Amino acid sequence: MDKELFKKTEGRLYRYFKYKREIYSLRKRVEVLENQIKDIDDSIRNVHKYINVDPYQNGVEILEKVQTSRNCASYMEIEMEKEITKLEKEQSNKIKSMHKFEVRIRDMEFYVRNMGIYIEMLSEEDKKFIEYKYGKGKKVSYIAMELSVAIATIYRKQEELVRNIACYIKLTR
């Protein structure tokens, strides 16, 4: 087996476990964003409770010339509109980022499912080896001790497993 194919296949195994961990954290982020979006929605519905009308607001100034205004909105309405606009913008940003996370999760899940198919074809001992080596990043000596085999056997097993997975990938493409 050439070194380049070996490295690529190992990279795919490392990426498989990295994506599995990342999917979990991204799902938690999506949950947090969903809760924040609901909270913002509640704030928009109850915005009238958060705006204070200053009872000591300056009175109307009396001038010689009277200016006409096309704006018939009260101070309260203007402040509510500003607050709602600000909340809607914040909500929109959170929805966009939530959708970006969901797209990343879907892409990663597709990759994880495909690699999972190849890994499922292996024996339980081989799965343990792959979990220790590529999932947990353990050293060869630790894996040899855990699986009760010699270090040389671990190196042979590693090359054999990577070769098998590379063959599975080639066959399915």
Q: Where are the domains of the chain?
A: 3-50+74-172
Q: Are 77 and 44 in contact (CB under 8 A)?
A: no
For range 35-61, the mean pLDDT: 78
Q: Mean pLDDT score of the chain, rounded to an integer?
A: 88
Share of the chain above pLDDT 90, in %: 65
- Is pLDDT at 64 greater than 70 in this prediction? no
Q: Are 166 and 115 in contact (CB under 8 A)?
A: no
- Is pLDDT at 123 greater than 60 in this prediction? yes
Q: What is the pLDDT of residue 57?
A: 59
**How many angstroms separate the CA atoms of 49 and 80, rounded?**
10
Q: What is the pLDDT of residue 78?
A: 83
Query: Which of the 8 DSSP states describes residue 65?
Result: S
Q: Are 105 and 26 in contact (CB under 8 A)?
A: yes
pTM recorded for the entire structure: 0.75
Work out the pLDDT band at 103, boundaries 50, 70, 90: very high
Bigger pLDDT: 153 vs 51: 153
- Is pLDDT at 15 greater than 80 in this prediction? yes
Comparing 31-35, 46-50, 60-64, 153-157, which segment has the lowest mean pLDDT? 60-64
**How many angstroms separate the CA atoms of 153 and 48, rounded?**
71
Q: How far is CA 125 from CA 9, 11, 12, 16, 86, in A?
A: 19, 21, 20, 18, 56
For range 144-169, the mean pLDDT: 91
**How many angstroms separate the CA atoms of 35 and 53, rounded?**
30
**How many angstroms separate the CA atoms of 167 and 131, rounded?**
19
Comparing 27-36, 93-102, 142-151, which segment has the lowest mean pLDDT? 142-151
**How many angstroms separate the CA atoms of 76 and 126, rounded?**
68
Contacts of 51 (CB under 8 A, 6+ apart): 76, 79, 80, 83
Work out the pLDDT band at 68, boundaries 50, 70, 90: low
- Is pLDDT at 59 greater than 60 in this prediction? no
Among 172, 144, 173, CA closest to 158: 144
Comparing 28-42, 58-72, 150-164, which segment has the lowest mean pLDDT? 58-72
